[in-house]
Amino acid sequence: MTTVPTSTRQRLLGTLFLGSGLVRTGFIAAVTVTSLVAEDLLGSVTLSGLPSAAATIGVAVGTTPIAALMVRRGRRVGIASGSVLAAGGAAIAALAISLTSFPLFVFGLFVLGVGAAGDRLSRYAASDISTEDKRAFAISIVVWAGTIGSVVGPSLLEPARNVAESLGLEGLAGPYVLAATALLIASGAMSLGLRPDPLSFVEVPPEPRRKRRAGAVLSLLTLPSVRFAIIALAVGQVVMVLIMTMTPIHIDRAGDGLGTIGLIIAAHTFGMFALSPLTGWVADRIGRPKVILVGHAVLLISALLAANASGEQTVLLFVALFLLGVGWNFSFIAGSAYLTQYAPADLRVPLEGLADTVVWSSGAAAGLSSGVLLGISNYAVLCLVGAAIVILPVAAAIRFRDTLREPAYAGQHG
């Protein structure tokens, strides 16, 4: 990989941080109220997880084409184009609320997710300009931008509703108008600031190698490091989505309003992002697999705490959802860095797209099933299901324990 001057790396990381912070602000504000909008439109909780699932399905669907666009046109075009598309999805969702159309609302969330795939892949742009020994830390800086969204997004729920109502719109349309605005600003920031393109610092494969990329990427799935990373990323996403998606309804049923919901979701999203630089720094030094496993231990603790919390136990839910975010953070950052640690540079972007497709598809399944689980059982059972799923990456680590630290592609780092 071409050496990137420190000043250039810092500027590009700053641009990625700003753009992702704006995207996450809008996205988190929108997703926080999806289950409430769905219940309001349908009068039932059973399908309340569908819009959130549609957003996650959208991310899964959008990942591969946006990754392909990045290969052809660079990270900048892929990320900026995705943000514009996501803004359109948020606008559709706001319109659907005004028209009281649940199908249109679900479609809007799907489009929002497709566009947001560009932002999700932006963490790997930080990896493009970093050295191997600082890859997790570079990724963590972009993930850290979510701290902005975790604080600003939920805190703007009430003001956004008030503004929407003052404009003659439905109150719950406010967060989606906010999301569309933030996403358009993010697209402009990335278009202007992400120059030179991060992929310009990565080896560009010759055309003959591009033609065999699909088969070569699939062959990487035989590597224990890749398989373990994908399992860890997927499970972390599933547990987080499963519990987080239905927590607002669990609180709402206890009689609390958007203020309490916003506070607890803010704690959760703050946990998801605030410790990111420390997580990346530690992962680079003690080993990414170790941090992944610590993250899943935290996810287990958080799921058990949430399972024992009633809707009125705000403090316990606050702690549980915060730890849910922290556990996801450990797994997500360390897993993302470990995923491409030994992959050849010419296969890095397609592998990232493949892995994220698996991750977001799994998260979509969790979002969709969360409402069904809550409808046929209760919040405690839903959380216990999440706790049980955590065993999967642990089992994978035990199975691959003798090979996880072996450099399968030594000397071929991007």
Residues 338-359 pLDDT 10s: 997 777 777 888 899 999 999 9
Task: Report the number of distinct structural domains present in the chain.
Answer: 1
Tally Cβ neighbours within 10 Å of residue 357.
18
Radius of gyration in angstroms for the set of CA atoms belonging to the chain, rounded to a whole number: 20
Residue 333, sorted as left (phi over 0), alpha (psi -120 to 50) or beta, turns out to be alpha
330 within some domain: yes
Residue 188, sorted as left (phi over 0), alpha (psi -120 to 50) or beta, turns out to be alpha
C-alpha distances out from residue 107 to 63, 171, 374, Å = 17, 20, 23
Looking at residue 364, its pLDDT comes to 81
184 within some domain: yes
Give the closest residue to 230 by CA, choosing from 53, 362, 52.
Answer: 362
For the four alpha carbons of 57, 63, 69 and 70, in that order, the dihedral sign comes to positive
208 within some domain: no
Looking at residue 410, its pLDDT comes to 35
Spans of the chain below 70 pLDDT? 1-4, 45-46, 203-214, 256-258, 405-414
**Single-letter amino acid, residue 172:** L
Looking at residue 123, its pLDDT comes to 92
C-alpha distances out from residue 81 to 66, 97, 193, 266, 355, Å = 9, 25, 14, 28, 21
410 within some domain: no
* pTM, rounded to two decimals: 0.81
Looking at residue 204, its pLDDT comes to 55
409 within some domain: no
Give the closest residue to 94 by CA, choosing from 81, 86, 104.
Answer: 104
210 within some domain: no
What span, in angstroms and rounded, lies between the C-alpha atoms of 165 and 174?
Answer: 8
Looking at residue 131, its pLDDT comes to 77
Looking at residue 411, its pLDDT comes to 37
42 within some domain: yes
What's the CATH number where 155 sits? 1.20.1250.20
Query: What is the full DSSP assignment across 137-205?
Result: HHHHHHHHTHHHHHHHHHHTHHHHHHHHHHTTS-GGGHHHHHHHHHHHHHHHHHHHH--S-GGGGSPPP
Chain segment 314-325, per-residue pLDDT in tens:
889 999 999 999
- What's the count of helices (H) and strands (E) in the chain, helices before strands? 19, 0
Looking at residue 259, its pLDDT comes to 75
Domain enclosing residue 323, as ranges: 6-201+215-399
322 within some domain: yes
Looking at residue 140, its pLDDT comes to 93
